Amino acid sequence: MSGKAAILGAGVVGLACGLALRRAGFDVTIVDRGAPGEACSLGNAGHLGTGSVVPIATPGLWKQVPALLRDPTSPLKVSPGDLVANLPWFLRFLANGTNARVERNAAALAPIVGRVHKTWAPILEEVAALDLVDREHGLMHVFRGAAAMEKSRWAYELRERYGVRLQRLTPDQAREREPCLSEDIAGGWHMPDVWTVKHPLRLSQRIAARFEALGGTIRRATATGVDARGIRTADGRVEADIIVLAAGAWSTPFAEAVGVRVPLAAERGYHVMLEGSNAPVRQTMLLADRRVSVSPMLHGIRISSLAEYAHPDAPPDHGMAARVLGGAETVIPGLGGKVASRWVGPRPSTPDSLPVIGRAPLAPNVLCAFGHGHLGLTMAALTAEAVLELAQGRPTSLDLTHVAPTRFHWWGRRAA
């Protein structure tokens, strides 16, 4: 079947969904108040995270939270007011940190991230974006402290059990892969199958250009509501047979209007782009002790970090971000350079680290495609595949039980 489709959200998820639907013959309009790819999709670390089977909530995390909140260089930030506003979310999040739930959520994540290459490869070729992807170096997690590395070993063993290829690195092996690392690192882990997008915004723009070349429409407008007949905007309605809700961290009120109650937090990440660094970084890395990502991009080195829980449109605190991101130089001497740009963007995070994909209970023609947390770029192509299958009334290639929009409802399939 085909017909009219309207998508709320022109991030990488919404754009991928739009391309899939338009290619299949739907008359597609994407609605967003901003330009394609310029919200949360702009500033991520670029990972296509085939190794991302470990959920964010992990055993013992609750014990670390008080110290993290007191430490000005910690990657966790939340004001007292935002802590109260997000308290139900935090309680659900911490409840997902038990051993049993970590195993359950990892088992649900594994088949999703396992399809990253298969679902992304044809899109990258179609939109002529293979030049934007580093498929050679993989992703390296680097530890400065031996105790921290040993304490986190369970997470890598978990990855290995779910089929993630990885290699434990001695300090010398890590420096061989990345000579700019300091002499006092304790070692690391290498995941060779992780690809890095070297310019996420440009990738979104190429998907948007291909979508429009196929006859799709991108409409700049502020959405005011979603219902079974389409998207309401300040400039009028966009009528459609299929509506896709892909508004990221801004999805909550639109989802509630069609019967989807998902605990969704705006987990804001920050980055700085460096030009002229004295450290010739060639390898995408996570500096694991500090939770800081270092990504060599086409236009400089991107240093990204932080989990700041706040309203998605709250003013950024770049001074706070600088204190966290500045710690990267302790692992990569000479990393400093000219700060070309600073950025903040809200990740749409669920307590169980799983996205929300499926039909809205009060309007089955409204398809949910949000809540991807840290993995929006990673899961965009797979989400588009699922959305197309749902729109066409076909069985989905992926079992959507664990990502169902109703999974947080008391009458849903499982509590989370």
154 with 26, same domain: the answer is no
- Going through 240-395 in order, the beta strands assigned E by DSSP cover 242-245, 265-275, 284-287, 292-297, 300-309, 338-349, 356-360, 363-370
224 with 259, same domain: the answer is yes
* pLDDT at position 72: 84
Distance CA 306, CA 175 (A): 26
32 with 150, same domain: the answer is no
Distance CA 345, CA 254 (A): 20
Name the more confident of 10 and 326: 10
Q: For 139-143, what is the mean pLDDT? A: 97
CA distances in angstroms from 277 to 99, 131, 166, 221, 324, listed in the order given: 42, 23, 29, 39, 18
**End-to-end Cα spacing for the chain:** 34
256-265, pLDDT tens digit by residue? 999 999 999 9
Its pTM stands at 0.96
390 with 252, same domain: the answer is yes
Percent residues over pLDDT 70 in the chain = 98
In-domain check, residue 80: yes
Q: What CATH number does the domain containing 397 carry?
A: 3.50.50.60
In-domain check, residue 65: no
User: Which of 354, 378, 306 is closest to 51 using CA atoms?
Assistant: 378
Q: Are 224 and 230 in contact (CB under 8 A)?
A: no
182 with 277, same domain: the answer is yes
Here the tokens at position 416 are 């989370």
Beta bridge partners of 14: none
126 with 244, same domain: the answer is yes
320-361, pLDDT tens digit by residue? 888 888 878 889 998 888 899 999 999 999 999 999 999 999
Q: Are 37 and 10 in contact (CB under 8 A)?
A: yes
Domain boundary (347, 371, 397) is at 347
User: Which of 34, 25, 385, 389 is closest to 215 using CA atoms?
Assistant: 25
Residues whose CB falls within 8 Å of the CB of residue 161, separated by 6 or more in sequence, listed in order: none
31 with 172, same domain: the answer is no
Q: What CATH number does the domain containing 269 carry?
A: 3.30.9.10
Q: Is pLDDT at 415 greater than 50 in this prediction? A: no
Q: For 404-413, what is the mean pLDDT? A: 78
Distance CA 211, CA 88 (A): 39
Q: Is pLDDT at 1 greater than 80 in this prediction? A: no
| Mean pLDDT of the residues in the chain | 94
241 with 360, same domain: the answer is yes
Q: Is pLDDT at 367 greater than 60 in this prediction? A: yes
287 with 309, same domain: the answer is yes
In-domain check, residue 184: yes
User: How confident is residue 67, by pLDDT bands cut at 50, 70 and 90?
Assistant: confident
Residue 319's domain comprises 70-97+135-193+265-347
Distance CA 409, CA 416 (A): 9
165 with 226, same domain: the answer is no
Q: In 162-296, which ranges are continuous DSSP H helix?
A: 171-177, 200-213, 252-256
Distance CA 77, CA 306 (A): 7
375-384, pLDDT tens digit by residue? 999 999 999 9
Percent residues over pLDDT 90 in the chain = 87
Distance CA 317, CA 110 (A): 34
* pLDDT at position 337: 82
**Structural domain total, the chain:** 2
Here the tokens at position 204 are 């979104």
Q: How many CA atoms lie within 13 A of 1 on its CB side?
A: 12
